Amino acid sequence: MATTGESAGVSPAPRPGSRDRPLRVSQLVRGTNRLLDDRIGSIWVEGEVESVSRPSSGHVYFCLKDAGAQLRAVMWRSDAQRLAFRIESGQSLRCRGRLAIYERDGKFQMYVQAAEPAGLGADALALEQLKARLQAEGLFSAERKRALPLLPRRIGVVTSKSGAAVRDVIRAVQRRFPVPILVADARVQGPSAPASIARALTAICRVDDVDVVIVGRGGGSAGDLAAFNDERVVRAVAGCPVPVISAVGHEVDLSLTDLAADQRAATPTMAGEMAVPVLAELSRRLTLEERRLARELEHRLRVARQELDHLDTRARHLSARALGDRRRALAETRHALEALHPRARLAGHRARLGELGARLDAHHPRARLARERARLGELSARATDLTRRRVHECARAFGALGARLDALSPLRVLERGYAIALAGGGEHVLTSADEVAPGQAITVRLHRGALDCRVEAARPGDGAEGDR
């Protein structure tokens, strides 16, 4: 007996998804999603976040990756709002959710329902993200820090009235310099603490004579101090119109309120000491300032007196110069007026007329004849004078030449005993014995008179031999 269709000669029915009966795409995707949900369900996946996107719908789209693969993920807005931190690229997260294929795009992705940091805790990560965001806004920058007033009219304190912090502040202020203190009671611990601190800070800032505010509390655990890391408190401190001193916990505790405040005190007692000066020290400083001001005032008075004397001297000089200028201008104006007077103009015309008459007379022929005659007389006198001087010079030169000629005259030689022998009737002067013959008549000229002689003998030779 046959037990199967094949043995009976009948063909088997085709399976779903086979070539004969193919599945629709939507059927395959839905079937796969059911399989993932049945076989895997909700799981935890750890990886690094990248490509974070936040559209206006409020959903968060991102990818989880490791060294070998990546997985698309989406967190709906309702789940994202429950997170204490903000998902950012580069974070290492542990995500809980289910796996599925998005039918419209056919993309395999994880629908994340919860997430937590793989390293830091959620609260610590949220605090770091808030700190980074507020710092980027400039709430912690040193440029916006304000100096504390030297002597405030009133100090505002925002803390719990029942805590030890307010008593520490009051004791420190009363010990150094008693000034009025206004306490704004606020819860400093618990879920309602941030709103309570922000309201108290806003209320105390409305008081006109509050010049500085101290906000804080005593020590405690990180959870006890969490209110001073709340964004509402930090923004209230940063927006306070007067300087704020933050005194949260102990010196090792650093809150975001400490970063936003104008000054940070390690303890509430130190905050009270920072708010007011020491009375004795202030008195000493006031005495020193009074002396310095007295010296400065005396110096300024001396300088002012010197400047006043200088200005007085300068004013006198300028006044005298201005008066002199006015007098000169007045004199010039008087001269100008006198010159414009008819008598002055008439005198000017008469002077001009006389000048023109003199010029006309100078060009008249009789005047020219008189000038030429005068010039002729002047030239004649100059010629007579020059002739007289020339004659005198010639006479003096003639006398000098006569004296020289007289000195060279043979007559002067004859006066010393010499004689001149003349032949030929006195026309030839004999200079040698060879020029005459014995018996020849000659004439001997003496200084006074002459001798007629006859030569008896002639001895030719030079003068030396004749002497012998």
Q: Taking the CA of residue 464 as centre, how many other CA atoms within 13 Å lie in the half-sphere pointing to its CB?
A: 0
330-380 pLDDT, tens digit per residue, is 888 888 887 777 877 787 778 888 888 777 777 777 777 777 888 888 888
Whether 56 maps to a domain, the answer reads: yes
456 has pLDDT over 80: yes
Which of 277, 306, 327 is at the close of a domain? 277
Same domain, 251 and 160: yes
Pairing assessment for the beta strands 70-75 and 60-65 based on DSSP bridges = antiparallel
Same domain, 72 and 181: no
Query: Is this prediction's pTM over 0.75?
Result: no
The mean pLDDT of 122-133, rounded to a whole number, is: 77
Return the pLDDT at 47.
87
Mean pLDDT, rounded, of the chain: 83
279-326 pLDDT, tens digit per residue, is 888 788 888 989 999 999 988 998 898 889 889 888 888 888 888 888
Same domain, 186 and 228: yes
Same domain, 257 and 181: yes
Return the pLDDT at 374.
84
Whether 385 maps to a domain, the answer reads: no
Whether 420 maps to a domain, the answer reads: yes
Same domain, 264 and 164: yes
244-284 pLDDT, tens digit per residue, is 999 887 766 688 888 989 999 988 999 988 988 888 887 88
Whether 426 maps to a domain, the answer reads: yes
Between 254 and 100, name the one with better pLDDT. 100
Nearest to 20 by CA among 12, 28, 31: 12
Contact 246, 140 (CB under 8 A): no
Same domain, 423 and 455: yes
State the residue range of the domain holding 159.
Answer: 149-277
Distance CA 172, CA 269 (A): 6
4-40 pLDDT, tens digit per residue, is 344 444 455 556 666 778 888 888 888 888 888 888 8
Return the pLDDT at 376.
83
Return the pLDDT at 204.
92
Return the pLDDT at 467.
46
Same domain, 113 and 162: no
Same domain, 30 and 118: yes
Same domain, 42 and 123: yes
The domain that holds 32 is classified in CATH as 2.40.50.140
Distance CA 412, CA 417 (A): 10
Integer Rg of the chain from CA: 72
Please, which residues have CB within 8 angstroms of residue 207's CB and are 6 or more apart in sequence? Answer: 154, 156, 182
CA distances for 446 relative to 411, 415, 420, 438, 463, angstroms: 9, 8, 7, 22, 20
Domain count, the chain: 3
The mean pLDDT of 408-419, rounded to a whole number, is: 77
Same domain, 162 and 269: yes
Return the pLDDT at 119.
66
184-214 pLDDT, tens digit per residue, is 999 988 889 999 999 999 999 889 899 999 9
154 has pLDDT over 90: yes
- Residue 148 DSSP label: P
Which of 247, 277, 307 is at the close of a domain? 277
- Residue 7 DSSP label: T
Same domain, 118 and 233: no
Return the pLDDT at 7.
41
120 has pLDDT over 70: no
Distance CA 95, CA 114 (A): 6
121 has pLDDT over 60: no
Same domain, 76 and 165: no
31-82 pLDDT, tens digit per residue, is 888 888 888 888 899 888 888 898 998 899 999 988 788 899 999 999 998 8
Return the pLDDT at 398.
86
Please, which residues have CB within 8 angstroms of residue 332's CB and are 6 or more apart in sequence? Answer: none
Whether 384 maps to a domain, the answer reads: no
Whether 330 maps to a domain, the answer reads: no
Q: In what order do the strands lie in the sheet with 450-454?
A: 428-429, 420-423, 441-445, 450-454
Whether 214 maps to a domain, the answer reads: yes
CA distances for 84 relative to 124, 129, 220, 223, angstroms: 9, 10, 22, 15
Which of 224, 250, 277 is at the close of a domain? 277
Return the pLDDT at 286.
86
Which phi and psi (to 5°) does residue 464 adopt?
-70, -40
Whether 88 maps to a domain, the answer reads: yes
